[in-house]
Amino acid sequence: MNLENDGATSESIFDLDYASWKIRLTLGLAGFFFYLGVFVVCHQLSSSLTGTYRALAAKEKVFWNLAATRAVFGVQSTVAGLWALLVDPVLHADKAVNQQNWCWFNVATATGFFFFENVAVHLSNLFFRTFDLFLAVHHLFAFLGFLGSAINLKAGHYLAMTTLLLEMSTPFTCVSWMLLKAGWSDSLFWKLNQWLMIHMFHCRMILTYHMWWVCFWHWDGLINSLYLPHFILFLVGLALLTLIINPYWTHKKTQQLLNPVDWNFAQPEAKSCQPERTNGQIPQKKKQ
């Protein structure tokens, strides 16, 4: 596939030599260090500006900063994904093999983000002795999938960009968790954000059906343009998202709307009673 941007003749910031390993590696590293910078800046700002953050446990502070970093990446991904899904005529001309320079930029920087995400999550798991299987699997598949797209010069970009669009729920997830920790779970704003987040998860499920449709109608083109292990990885990851991860997260977020508990860090709750919650957690009973 010709790496030149077929949709525009004017120069742009995306017009780089993506056939060069140096360019792709540089953008991947830029993505890694940019989102590492977002993580650090979020920590500095939150420490200075909010007492809620200062009152959190160490592992919750890491989660707070990761949530904010994911939200920033979610904005980038949503813009890129919507442009590919609704606007770009070059990608729509052949969803299996067509490429765009702006897509190369997003593929490379997303690879850097998912590498950062995997490093951060596993270091956090190791340090705090925690493990979220669904999150770990989700981001491992995402990193390997985008790494495959960054390596393969023939890989089309439509499915890569629609995969990024799956991050549409991430900013709402970030806002939901932060407001929950701040004790705003009874506010209209938190409930509205939760409704929108649940809607985004339903949209994610619809988007995965669209991606299966694209795979079905462009099967030969995908087979010819993708390395077989990469294609198998994509199909397995898409199947996990469609059948397990998206339904599970949609269920959990709907539960959270009805019962606003931070299920990432909440302590086990006795079945016989449901005491009042503060900051999304169940307070300890005072000793008598």
Output the CA–CA distances (angstroms, integers) from residue 275 to 52, 269, 278, 279, 283, in the order listed.
21, 9, 10, 13, 8
Closest CA to 263 of 153, 176, 148, 162: 176
In the block, which residue shows the tokens 């590293």? 29
- Whole-number Å distance between alpha carbons of 92 and 158: 8
Give residue-wise pLDDT tens across range 75-129. 999 999 999 999 999 999 999 999 999 999 999 999 999 999 999 999 988 888 8
Q: Mean pLDDT throughout 241-261?
A: 92
Q: What is the pLDDT of residues 44-90, one digit of tens each?
A: 999 999 899 999 999 999 999 999 999 999 999 999 999 999 999 99
Q: Give the Cα separation of 95 and 196 in Å (integer).
A: 29
Q: DSSP letter at 16? A: -
| Cβ neighbours of 214 (radius 10 Å) | 17
Rounded to whole angstroms, the Cα distance separating 139 from 90 reads 28
The DSSP code sequence of 60-81 is HHHHHHHHHHHHHHHHHHHHHH
User: What pLDDT is stored for residue 280 in this prediction?
Assistant: 52
pTM score of the predicted model? 0.86
Whole-number Å distance between alpha carbons of 105 and 111: 10
- Whether pLDDT at 43 is above 70: yes
Cβ contact 1:99 at 8 Å = yes
Cβ atoms of 222 and 96 closer than 8 Å: yes
Give the pLDDT of residue 131.
Answer: 80
User: With contact defined as beta carbons under 8 Å apart, do 232 and 200 qualify?
Assistant: no
